[in-house]
Structure 1
Amino acid sequence: MNLTRPQLRALVGEALRSDADLDAFCSDHFPDVYRRLSDGMQRVRKVTLLLDHADPERVAELLLKLRSGGDAAPALERTLPSAGGGVKVLFMAANPRSTTQLGLGREIRHIEEKIRAAKHRDAVTFVSRWAARPDDLQQALLEEQPHVLHFSGHGTHDERLALEDSEGGIAFVDKGALSDLIGILRDNLQMVVLNACYSEPLAEALTQHVACAVGMHQPIGDLAATEFAASFYRALGFGRTVDEAFRLGCSALRLHQIPEHEIPRLKVKAGVDAAALRLVEQA
């Protein structure tokens, strides 16, 4: 399939209407190209990088399938995180001493109890890191290469997470820094869960790099955050889809008459169907 460079440019425009579609296409099919992209880069530059560094025949094949409605959807919505169907969750917690003290211990205990009661509990590995500092995020992602990154702690109105410094004080991580980190170390990541107040914009930003992300639209209380997370991971442990697990997490708040069921928000990457994505394979 020998298309000229102008023909390929035109095909990109027809098959990938938005910048989000273009980013997702590069991320899922040409990761070497995706790593060259940056926030704020003009679309024409992105297309040039794609044509310069990707196999033109492969690009044309995938784009023609997309244009015709064929099966060129991102692999994330069809495949499991690992060959064995298992999933590793990295739970990172931070509660700087000058902030309101949260029941993070109760949250992780409740999550672990729900996972142990799940049908496919042996397929879920749960790893925790406490008093997380900014550098711990990078260290833990490098070491664990998780499929799900979960952060529990405080978020702020101005789109930051409150981690800890070496003295137990606050060390903020902003949206841009977090997105940059996840973009580099997204090796196995399928999902990020930000169980922190005002974290919805951060979750939205992270869907440039991962299939799905959960954030909180408003402040959320300890009880609601704990119940949502525990029910969410239990559902994943039963082999439910990400969409079902999210809705079951919100439903749990209603069942327990906790009036915060509309605060969690599920964000999904362009081209990904959360209703078809399972992180744990059903037997």
Structure 2
Amino acid sequence: MARTETLRREIASLDNKIGTLKKDLGKQMDAATRASTAASRKQSEASRTTSNSTRRMAESAAEREAKKAALATKKEGEIRAKIADAERSLSQKHSSLASAERDEQRARDREAASRAAKERSAQQARDRETKKRQSQEKAHAREVARLSQLPPQIRYVTVQPPSPERLRVLYLTANPHAVETTLEHPDGTSETSGTWLRVDREVRAVRQELKASRWRDLVEVEHLPAATSQDLTSGLNYYRPHVVHFSGHASSLGLLFENEEGSQDGSDVTFDLLARILDATDEPPRLVVLNACESFAGAESLLRTVPTAIGMSASITDLAAITFAAKFYAAIASAQSVATAIEQAKIAMLNASLVSDSKLPQVLARDDVELASLKLVKPSQ
């Protein structure tokens, strides 16, 4: 527990204690007043009576009341002393709390400064790497220009083995439920609001991560926005993708593609039908990634066609879907295995405080597939 929290609790306890003592003080003051009044009354009765027995009884009663008044006065003094001690302690606690709050604020300031310094250092390192890469590219371009100006020469060049095949990713996004409204203000300005999935932001984040990856040239992303089921078939024929990725709406029954007629209602494609579409090609993809809510429910159906399928076990937020996709493909483009890529994406979600969402990505593979050794990008050695 933080020092400030402990002090605040101690201050609250002292405030309660002082309040209780003040109530007790009031009671003792009332008791002393009542006893003194009663003693004076009895003493007055004793002085007025002519009966010796009545006088002795009144004087005895007056003496008892006087003792009660004295005792109450004594307790009153003790309580006042306790109140004074408690108030001194309370003042010290307030001083200690103010000092502890200043210390904690200084610690937070130091931590913030340290984070800022680390971020500046990291940014400077990235800037240096960018400048180095740009310098190398310029040097290469100058060398190519120089060689192009030299007279032709006959060279005996050893034929190199072909480069590894580029990983082709067919990236389909669909958002048929998107609703957008534009409000015109009297001053001529306009404001646009709506409800839609940020699938374009996801593709942008993936491309940015790929640009920063070591073997970015070995990954080719073909994005088909507002995709229909027919776009999927055409994409399979034209691009022959190794990976098919879908981002959009889904349920435990299937995916929601754009409607061919442009309707906002969308077009449902069950997981069984999706498996048949993926199978209706001579070169089915090696991996299907369904970055959509409850899409992992269809993974088992897809294994009839593809060896590996990734999906989400429940509803996933926009930010979580974007974070997962960006970090997953960043790892793939760094020649990491599918298992490692999924783990790195989950860690990135945890770092973004998306704790519950980090549990959603799930993978299912055939028995002959070892996810820990399945690498989709294989750079030349």
Mapping of 1:108-257 within 5 angstroms? 108-157=203-252, 159-165=253-259, 166-169=261-264, 170-185=266-281, 187-257=283-353
Answer yes or no: is 1:91 the counterpart of 2:186. Answer: no
Query: Which residue identity lines up with residue 133 of structure 1 in the other structure?
Result: T
Give runs of ≥4 in structure 1 deviating > 3 Å.
97-100
The separation in 1 between residues aligned to 2:376 and 2:263, in whole angstroms, is 34
CA contact (8 A) 1:148 1:189 kept: yes
Q: Name whichever of 197-206 and 225-234 sits farther off.
A: 197-206
CA contact (8 A) 2:258 2:267 kept: yes
Give how far 1:208 is off. 2.1
Query: Which residue identity lines up with residue 258 of structure 2 in the other structure?
Result: E
Q: Note the alpha carbon deviations across 1:90-131, whole angstroms, 9 max, x for none.
A: 100110036751001110000000011000000000100011
CA contact (8 A) 2:308 2:366 kept: yes
The change in CA–CA distance for 1:83 and 1:203 in structure 2 (over 3 A counts) is farther
Which of 346, 361, 365 is residue 268 of structure 1 equivalent to?
Answer: 365
CA contact (8 A) 2:167 2:220 kept: yes
The separation in 2 between residues aligned to 1:112 and 1:186, in whole angstroms, is 28
Query: Which residue identity lines up with residue 166 of structure 2 in the other structure?
Result: G
The change in CA–CA distance for 1:123 and 1:179 in structure 2 (over 3 A counts) is same
The separation in 1 between residues aligned to 2:178 and 2:254, in whole angstroms, is 16
Higher helix residue share? 2
The change in CA–CA distance for 1:280 and 1:216 in structure 2 (over 3 A counts) is same
Q: Secondary structure at the match of 1:126?
A: strand
CA contact (8 A) 1:89 1:146 kept: yes
Q: Secondary structure at the match of 2:278?
A: helix
Q: Secondary structure at the match of 2:371?
A: coil
Give how far 1:183 is off. 1.8
Give how far 1:251 is off. 1.1
CA contact (8 A) 1:208 1:269 kept: no
Q: Secondary structure at the match of 1:96?
A: coil
Q: Which runs of 5+ in 2 are unaligned?
A: 1-161, 180-194
CA contact (8 A) 2:236 2:281 kept: yes
The change in CA–CA distance for 1:254 and 1:273 in structure 2 (over 3 A counts) is same
Give how far 1:201 is off. 1.8
The change in CA–CA distance for 1:98 and 1:223 in structure 2 (over 3 A counts) is closer
Give how far 1:85 is off. 3.8
CA contact (8 A) 2:278 2:284 kept: no
The separation in 1 between residues aligned to 2:229 and 2:297, in whole angstroms, is 19
User: Larger C-alpha radius of gyration, 1 or 2?
Assistant: 2
Q: Secondary structure at the match of 2:364?
A: strand
- Tell me which residue corresponds to 1:106: 201
Identity of aligned residues (%): 32
Give how far 1:188 is off. 5.0
Aligned length: 201
Q: Secondary structure at the match of 2:294?
A: coil
- Tell me which residue corresponds to 1:258: 354
The separation in 2 between residues aligned to 1:83 and 1:177, in whole angstroms, is 36
The change in CA–CA distance for 1:199 and 1:124 in structure 2 (over 3 A counts) is same
Q: Secondary structure at the match of 2:246?
A: strand
Query: Which residue identity lines up with residue 216 of structure 1 in the other structure?
Result: M
CA contact (8 A) 1:186 1:209 kept: no
Query: Which residue identity lines up with residue 231 of structure 2 in the other structure?
Result: D
CA contact (8 A) 1:85 1:279 kept: no
Give how far 1:211 is off. 2.2
Q: Provide TM-score, normalisation by structure 2.
A: 0.51
Query: Which residue identity lines up with residue 96 of structure 1 in the other structure?
Result: P
Give how far 1:136 is off. 1.2
CA contact (8 A) 1:86 1:279 kept: no
CA contact (8 A) 2:174 2:225 kept: yes
Give how far 1:135 is off. 1.2
The separation in 2 between residues aligned to 1:256 and 1:167, in whole angstroms, is 36
CA contact (8 A) 2:272 2:302 kept: no
Q: Secondary structure at the match of 1:275?
A: helix
Mapping of 1:50-65 within 5 angstroms? none
Give how far 1:184 is off. 2.1
- Aligned-residue CA RMSD (Å): 1.7
